[in-house]
Structure 1
Amino acid sequence: ETRVEVRVPARQPYLMLGYKAPIIGTAAEPWEPYALYVLANVLDGGNSARLSRDLVRGDAIAASAGAEYGPYSRLPGMFLLDGTPTDGHTTAELEQALRAQVERLRAELIDEGELKRIVTQAVASKVYEADSLFAQAMEIGMLETIGLDWRLLKTEIDAIKAVTPEQVRSVAQRYLTDDNLTVATLAPLPMDGAARAPRSAAAGVRHDS
């Protein structure tokens, strides 16, 4: 595990957890990127997803919380979790809550009903994107630019539909581990005079590993 703390003038603290994860072309199994994509949507696939339901509305520990994963990239892949704590809570508490969500996914199979809802939403989003010729052109260009066959777009929806609860748990167990994790925290300094004052000696970046 690697930790980074950034101290700069800001209005509120911020936390990001980044797990090294495979993408299409580097995954051990061809279904893994799609399972990671579904996993991200389990956590952050709308108001009924787990982060919004449990951390924002439920425990009210987070003012915002999200998850992001993209299966297509020229750079090494990352599975990201991020958030801003509510007043009265800390980034340490938010980190603990996000880690608890990860551990739940590593330990438990997601419910078939939850999976069906998530996959339906994800597929609907992909179909909506396909209605735009501009969006199609952007995706085709992006795939060709990073060295992937644009025809992957033709099989993407079927690959998402084929993801199982066991596959979601498998990628969580394999890739969402401390060995793959970098934790970045923004510890805000006072904003007063930040625009006029020279960079403070207190501001900076600290690395721990």
Structure 2
Amino acid sequence: MNILPSLAESSMRFSDRIEEYTMDNGLKVILIEDNRSPVIVSSIWYRVGSSYEYSGVSGISHVLEHMMFKGTTNTSPGEFSKIIKEAGGSENAFTGRDFTGYYQKIHKDYLELCLKLESDRMSNLVFREDEFKKEVEVVKEERRLRTDDKPVSKVFEKIGLQAFGMKDYGIPIIGTMKDLSSIKISDLKKWYKNYYVPNNATLILAGNFESSNAKLLIKKYYGNYDKKKILDYSNNYTHKISFNAISVKDKVSDPLILLSFKNKSFNASDKKEIYAMELLLELMDGGLSSRFTKNLIDENKIALNTFISYDSYSRKDGLITLGGSPRKGVSAKDLKMAFLNEFTVFIKNGLKENELTNTKSRLLANKIYEFDSVFYQAMQVGMLETKNFDWHLLDEYVDDINAITEIDLINAARKIVSSSYIYSSIEPES
């Protein structure tokens, strides 16, 4: 059954308005035309993030992201941001497990300005010792605020390390305080020279531009950079997951429990199975009409709140984490069993009337609403391409979700109830 009308689906279908090509130097270029407003999003994505790091330099990708705003041979520290702001635009950057990205949102008349500035810092970054030291301290403070002072973030970091060790998705994106204190400017230069090269990057333009003009400008500013050999610095040791429970006391107002299940990486050949898991988790915790909300929070009053953390498009093996806080008088064990029981009951009794249709509609409506944004289009295409997944997955997504059946969801639920998990609990300090 087709849940959403074709007009609504069209915002997620790119085949008729995406053009892609690869330059001689290996730079992948993706052009997404959307002329509804006079705005462009210019972004570049590098295939490097925390999952490419190793113990001793964790956080280096994020530190380098900060240094990218500290000047080149042609610009002074902070000048990049100042120029974009004066042109009426906005810009930012982000580091993830699998990528580091930079973008500008600006009037279409300033496309060339964005390409000129961004291409400059691909090759001409200047590493000033004083700026480096300042940015390391800034990142350390970020770590204190985002991780060390946040009990849930600290436990998620523990879970990642217990599941994967200091490799792949176990490495904290922000880095460890020990590694941040020991990273040298020579390490940063090595990282930059290895990963910030055209054949390790994807340039994405989305919005209101003329394709022919954009291609000429891209060739003008990126065409002279050479393709380079990229070395793999990541860890290659084998880590055995530990399912030992994690129990901590910290500055929380309510207890919190987490159940973390290992989840395999995305593979297009297994996408039906992966999307079935995504839809199952939407069924369980996808809003006010989800099963966790109705059964655990509203009716049985077992939980104060619930959440699920999950990434369908995982380049490496990842985690599915169920979480929530028990109500006063409800034990952590009771909430844990209630979580698992929701999956067991679903396996036994299946779907309620209209539940499959409603869950698909909710999931797809949220996705399609997000895709109305040119910025979100660029971010989703960039995320997939930089993880080495094909953006055509977005074209196929609505049909793939519509094809999922009740038995597909039951099979996904069976994987949850039959899998081992890391149990974590956070109790308020006495």
TM-score by length of 2: 0.42
Give the match's secondary structure for 1:89.
coil
1:11 maps to what in 2? 253
The answer (yes or no) to whether the contact 2:250–2:426 under 8 Å persists in 1 is yes
Matched with 2:399 is 158
**Conserved in 2, the CA contact under 8 Å of 1:5 and 1:185?**
yes
Unaligned runs of 5+ in 2: 1-242
State the Cα distance separating 1:106 from its structure 2 match. Answer: 3.1
User: In the alignment, is the contact (CA less than 8 A) between 2:283 and 2:291 conserved in 1?
Assistant: yes
**TM-score with structure 1 setting the length:** 0.83
Given candidates 323, 345, 349, the residue that maps to 1:82 is 323
Which of 173, 181, 187 is the equivalent residue of 2:421? 181
Alignment counterpart, residue 371 of structure 2, candidates 130, 133, 136: 130
How many angstroms does 1:112 deviate by? Answer: 5.3
- Give deviations 1:58-113, integer Å, cap 9, x for gaps: 11111101234321122313222110111222211111111111212333322351
Partner Cα distance (2:340, 2:244) in 1: 15
Q: Aligned to 1:60, what secondary structure does the other structure show?
A: coil
CA distance in 2, matches of 1:31, 1:162: 8
Any idea what SS the aligned residue of 1:31 has? helix
Cα distance in 2 for residues equivalent to 1:189 and 1:63: 19
| 1:43-192 equivalence runs, <5 A | 43-111=284-352, 113-173=354-414, 175-190=415-430
Contact in 2 for aligned 1:51/1:65 (Cα 8 Å):
yes
Which has more radius of gyration?
2
* Alignment correspondent of 1:196: none
Contact 1:108 1:169 in 2 (8 A): no
The C-alpha deviation readout for 1:157-181, integer Å capped at 9, x for no partner, is: 11111110000001211x2135431
- Tell me what 2:142 maps to: none
Aligned-partner residue type, residue 185 of structure 1: S
CA distance in 1, matches of 2:276, 2:250: 36
3-state DSSP class of the match of 1:48? coil
Q: What does residue 21 of structure 1 align with?
A: 263
Which amino acid counterpart does residue 344 of structure 2 have in structure 1? E
Asked if the contact 2:344–2:417 (Cα under 8 Å) also holds between the matched residues in 1, the reply is no
Checking the alignment, whether the CA contact within 8 Å between 1:14 and 1:84 is kept in structure 2 is yes
Equivalent position amino acid for 1:5 in 2 = S
Q: Name stretches of at least 5 consecutive residues in structure 1 with no aligned partner.
A: 191-209
| 3-state SS in 2 of match to 1:75 | coil
User: Is the 1:24–1:33 contact (alpha carbons within 8 Å) kept by the matching residues of 2?
Assistant: yes
Retained in 1: the 8 A contact 2:264–2:317?
yes
Once superposed, which parts of structure 1, at least 4 consecutive aligned residues long, lie more than 4 Å away? none
RMSD of the TM alignment (CA)?
1.8
Identity across the alignment (%): 29
Report 1 or 2 for greater relative contact order, CA contacts < 8 Å, sequence distance ≥ 6.
1
Deviations 1:15-70 (A, max 9, x none): 1111122342187x330111001100111121111000011111111110123432
Change (3 A) 1:2 1:103: farther
**Within 1, Cα distance between the matches of 2:344 and 2:359?**
19
